Structure 1
């Protein structure tokens, strides 16, 4: 029976897994049962730093994950370990120079640094207003290109700018874990709601669930690049995830 096979469950947290409390309780029970009975693995992939993740975990009493992808894919933590996975950190460190990136960003007055907790070894984070982004992002990109650094810009929710290694995002972190744990793409499901989740959906033919409350940037991308292995839910947050898991036959 299809329903009793383990699957790899990868989800964004804010406005995806979290945000619909009644459905979250139900989804948590479903996932925990599936993990205990069939060996399903649970991964949270979030833009949050370790500090902000812990706050949310306590506030919402989140299920303990098997893997944790934090800071927009720049850090992977396995089995409750307090230090990032060294193999992943090594992959990201090639061609990355945090000090040079930092010095370039200081030329742009429109970039407001996010709190210290959000500045990570492989991530620099800023607030950038949407009206300034149109001009600032291309200029910043061309400045960074002069140094031939291993970097890319991730702008999401009309305010958050993350500068990270090119090889780092939620999608590539998910692929790293999928291969490590030997799950087929067809037995992997990814869930998200915003621009920084596009990486989860774009990387391969994993089953994708876009929750009903998805942001315009993700919906626009989805309509431009439709795919049979991606499902746009009606319900919001955890309710939409349950709907999608049933759609793909992961749940009966």
Structure 2
């Protein structure tokens, strides 16, 4: 049994024929491949993607860049409350964090409600400088956080130790799945933590430069095809390699 943990936007979505082929492959191999989504979308946005894009229902999903984990149990998706307990440390105060960052004029808050995530839009001409400034301001205010920039315009602020990779590791431990049984797939900077957490991964053909640079030299498969076609290409590569 293998577990595929894949991002959605730009990784599965963006190639309708490719997504159709990917879905057909997963359906035909459901006894061999466990499907998990890891996305920056919240629950409402995720449900819209299911309806509008024709995504398959997964065995579990990581939403809001790692802030929420849901596992399918007897046909119902149940929130992993233990994860929230783990990331709810004394150094996380979302109201205080929001207040500290309210003085940064280049940050435009997104209208999302999650007690474990602040979301912003910004023109990120220098992501490292911006994330370092935000991190420094939060630390000065006593807030320990993960500051994740992606796509040149999004910034997520989450509790320390909370990102897609850490959430995926927690989920795999809960499901008693070994790290060597996992294949990850992604396209953008907020997927970097997934690749750092596991040994096998697929960079889709349209992966952003920031992600490629952050995992350069780590031996992940770089697909020639974009989006879902690239995920399927990489998935087949790892399966065929294991069967040699």
The answer (yes or no) to whether the contact 1:211–1:240 under 8 Å persists in 2 is yes
The structural deviation recorded for 1:136 is: 4.2
In structure 1, what is the equivalent of residue 226 of structure 2?
Answer: 236
In structure 1, what is the equivalent of residue 121 of structure 2?
Answer: 127
Cα gap change, 1:147 to 1:211, in 2 (>3 Å): same
Q: Does 1:90 align with 2:124?
A: no
Q: 1:34 aligns with which of 29, 42, 55?
A: 29
In 2, the alpha carbon distance for the partners of 1:81 and 1:114 equals 29
In structure 2, what is the equivalent of residue 182 of structure 1?
Answer: 176
Q: TM-score, normalised by structure 2?
A: 0.91
**Structure 1, unpaired ranges of 5+:** 1-5
In structure 2, what is the equivalent of residue 24 of structure 1?
Answer: 19
In 2, the alpha carbon distance for the partners of 1:242 and 1:68 equals 19
**Structure 2, unpaired ranges of 5+:** none
In 2, the alpha carbon distance for the partners of 1:82 and 1:183 equals 19
Q: Deviations over 1:110-139 (max 9, x none)?
A: 111112xx3311000111112375654333
Runs of 4 or more, structure 1, over 6 Å off, are: none
Task: Identify which range, 46-55 or 189-198, moves more after superposition.
Answer: 46-55
In structure 2, what is the equivalent of residue 99 of structure 1?
Answer: 95
Q: Does 1:10 align with 2:29?
A: no
Count of residue pairs brought into register by the alignment: 239
In structure 2, what is the equivalent of residue 108 of structure 1?
Answer: 104
Say which structure is richer in strand.
Answer: 2
Cα gap change, 1:136 to 1:242, in 2 (>3 Å): closer
SS of 2:46 mapped into structure 1: helix
